[in-house]
Amino acid sequence: MSLFESPRRADSDEIIGSDVATRALSVTAVENDFVAKVYENIAWAYDYTFGPTLHTGRLQALERMGIEPDDRILEVGVGTGINVDLYPRNCAVTGIDLSSSMLEKARERVAKGGLKNVRLLEMDAVNLTFADNSFDIVYAPYLISVVPDPVAVAREMRRVCRPGGKIIVLNHFRSPNAIMARLERMISPLTLYIGFKSDLDLPGFLAQAELKPISIEKVNVPRIWSLVTCIKD
């Protein structure tokens, strides 16, 4: 069974190919200023659009985390804080985001919920200001396909995750179907305006970020989103 068909397990040998470690991940280039502007513009509507439609994937990601008491969790791209009240109160959650408008809404949500275990910081995901091995779980929900350098972000996530900890990526990746992949490449510059590249290559991303998944699952409806769970060596 191939990597993309397996609902639970992923064999790292299956992501190794002749070009995955060097090939371009997307036809679409993006800069931080553009990303920030997009999310500044959609912050007011994010919870009403991407909230309900992508929520099933968020719940499955929480299950895959297997959170234990006192776990330290980093959410990279916390956005409006749509996940913060899903976490158990007996763990410590740090959420970061580049968008001040998104973080403003997240702070309102944290204050309203009285969430004393959550802290929010404005930070660039490609330059995390945390020490190595600072977190038990590092999670990027619906982020990787919009950042300028997804590999650099993933490597930073890996750096701040402790050995044996979990690195979880919830994202849309390019379809393995040739026809769908061609379409996704064509529309990727357009989908960026609503917050994501539609043609990010999963095998190339994993190989270049040096991430070894233990499972890859299709989530949400339609099932075009992937929940990728990795363990740091």
Q: Residue 28: give its domain's CATH number.
A: 3.40.50.150
pLDDT, one tens digit per residue, over 157-207 is 999 999 999 999 999 999 999 999 999 999 998 888 877 889 999 999 999
Q: Which of 6, 61, 53 is nearest to 202 (CA)?
A: 6
| Average confidence (pLDDT) over 70-76 | 98
Rounded Cα–Cα distance for residues 230 and 227 (Å)? 10
Let me know: does 209 contact 158? Beta carbons within 8 Å.
yes
* pLDDT value of position 49: 79
Q: Could you tell me if residue 3 is inside a domain?
A: no
Residue 152 falls within a domain, yes or no?
Answer: yes
Q: Does some domain include residue 33?
A: yes
The answer to whether position 110 is within a domain reads yes
Mean pLDDT of 143-154: 94
* 13 pLDDT above the threshold of 70: no
CA–CA dist 84, 77 (Å, integer) = 12
- Mean pLDDT, to the nearest integer, of 206-217? 96
Average pLDDT of every residue of the chain: 89
Q: What is the pLDDT of residue 46?
A: 81
Edge-to-edge, what's the strand order for the sheet holding 161-172? Answer: 118-122, 92-97, 72-76, 135-141, 161-172, 225-231, 213-219
How big, in percent rounded to 5, are the helix, strand and coil portions of the chain?
35, 20, 40
Q: Give mean pLDDT, residues 42-53.
A: 82
Per the model's pLDDT, the better-predicted residue between 70 and 148 turns out to be 70
Q: Is residue 60 part of a domain?
A: yes
Count: domains in the chain:
1
Instruction: Flag whether 140 is in a domain.
Output: yes
- CA-to-CA distance for 60 and 89, rounded, in angstroms? 18
7 lies in some domain: no
User: What's residue 14's pLDDT?
Assistant: 42
Q: Residues 111-139: what's their mean pLDDT?
A: 98
First to last CA, the chain: 24
In this structure, is residue 6 part of a structural domain? no
The residue range of the domain holding 192 is 12-228
